[in-house]
Amino acid sequence: MVSRLGVAVVGFGWMGRVHTQAYARVPHHFPHLPVRPELIAVADEVPGRAAEAAERYGFATAARDWREVAADPRVQAVSIAAPNFLHREIGVTMAEAGKHIWIEKPVGLTAEDARAVAGAVAKAGVQGTVGFNYRNAPAVAAARELIASGEIGTVTHVRIRLFSDYAAHPEGALTWRYERERGGSGVLGDLASHGVDLARFLLGEITSLAADTAVFVPERARPTGATAGHSRSTGGELGPVENEDYVSCLLRFASGARGVLEACRVSVGEQNNYGFEIHGTKGAVSWDFRRMGELGISRGTSYQDQPVSTLYVGPGHGEYAAFQPGSANAMGYDDLKVIEAYNFLRSVAEGTAYGATVDDAVHSAAALDAMARSAESRAWASPA
């Protein structure tokens, strides 16, 4: 028997739309899911944005104040896609209201914020899913199984990269993303948080790290109106960029493996160049998000001059079969969020957490805080 679950979306920029579209698609890809999301409410403080979303996507109610969503008894689950500085207040309030939450990373500005949300979720007994979407790629799931099986031997070292140009243009508007008070960290929370999650998902806990950060575009123009995504602004008053454009970090894992994580939001010529190369004592595995359905694998007994082959993922790898019937059919970014929606709704239906959780967000945030401390002190640090 299928039951209805009243859902709401708070914050309707690009990510709010992605969540909404994932809710619409999830019953088609996962027809056996025992719950069906029903779009009850959408909230966004930008005048007219929530009303437009309600008309376009079919939400029953539109509001400018997210607190109306918290008080709405029809809403049982909430997607939180608002700016980072609102994550803690909204997440805690929704959990205390007994609502399950699907919240975007980095779940606040600090590890303390993430812990507050995780604590509220645990106390209320609700589910808390976090938007670490790259772990949902079927190729990443295949890589995890390969590593766990010992096919590449004992992992020795890993390189994780997250390079993008979304902030490379000097006319990029000085939005909340570049302010400490509202955005917290810069590329740490935006991209490196994904890198930490991938590192933990694939290789286990990080015990210590050493990081360096830099700001390469020190000033930007303040926007004169509402913004969405990474819009440009010219002619406005210039203001300082308060958080980092770039981070490089050395990692030490509990397993004894070593790693390098590098992330940048101003990499000219790089568009979503995200991926990893993992080496073991008998082989290696690599993945590039831009070729999401491919996995580079080196395994065997040659060690030296051992060839690399390409695995095209297919049914049997992660949740691939819910989207395509045969190997090498392409999947996209939005598909990963559909998988995330599925994990969230399944968690609610079964009362057991699936996929990335708020506890994973706490671990990621603790590593990011350690990176910030390390960059400031120029010394090794441990995630708290």
pLDDT in tens, 9-54: 999 999 999 999 999 999 999 999 999 999 999 999 999 999 999 9
* Rounded distance between C-alpha atoms, residue 93 and residue 324, angstroms: 39
Model confidence pLDDT, tens digit, residues 56-113: 999 999 999 999 999 999 999 999 999 999 999 999 999 999 999 999 999 999 999 9
Band of the pLDDT at 234, cuts 50, 70, 90?
Answer: low
Helices then strands, counting H and E runs in the chain, come out as 11, 16
* Rounded distance between C-alpha atoms, residue 134 and residue 128, angstroms: 18
pTM, rounded to two decimals: 0.94
* Rounded distance between C-alpha atoms, residue 233 and residue 164, angstroms: 19
Strands (E), 289-352: 294-298, 309-312
Has residue 229 got a pLDDT over 60? no
Has residue 232 got a pLDDT over 80? no
The pLDDT score that the predictor gives to residue 233 is 61
Is residue 58 classed as helix, strand or coil in its secondary structure?
Answer: coil
Strands (E), 44-193: 61-63, 77-80, 100-103, 128-130, 155-163
| Averaged pLDDT, 141-161 | 98
The pLDDT score that the predictor gives to residue 228 is 53
Lowest mean pLDDT among 93-97, 193-197, 229-233, 267-271: 229-233
- The DSSP element (H or E) to which 39 belongs, if any, is strand 35-43
Task: Name the percent of the chain in helix, strand, coil, to the closest 5.
Answer: 35, 25, 40
Band of the pLDDT at 227, cuts 50, 70, 90?
Answer: low
> For the chain, what percent of residues have pLDDT higher than 70?
97
* Rounded distance between C-alpha atoms, residue 19 and residue 45, angstroms: 18
State the DSSP string of 181-206.
HHH-SSHIIIIIHHHHHHHHHHH--E
Is residue 322 classed as helix, strand or coil in its secondary structure?
Answer: helix
Band of the pLDDT at 176, cuts 50, 70, 90?
Answer: confident
* Rounded distance between C-alpha atoms, residue 59 and residue 54, angstroms: 4
**How would you classify the pairing of strands 3-10 and 77-80?**
parallel
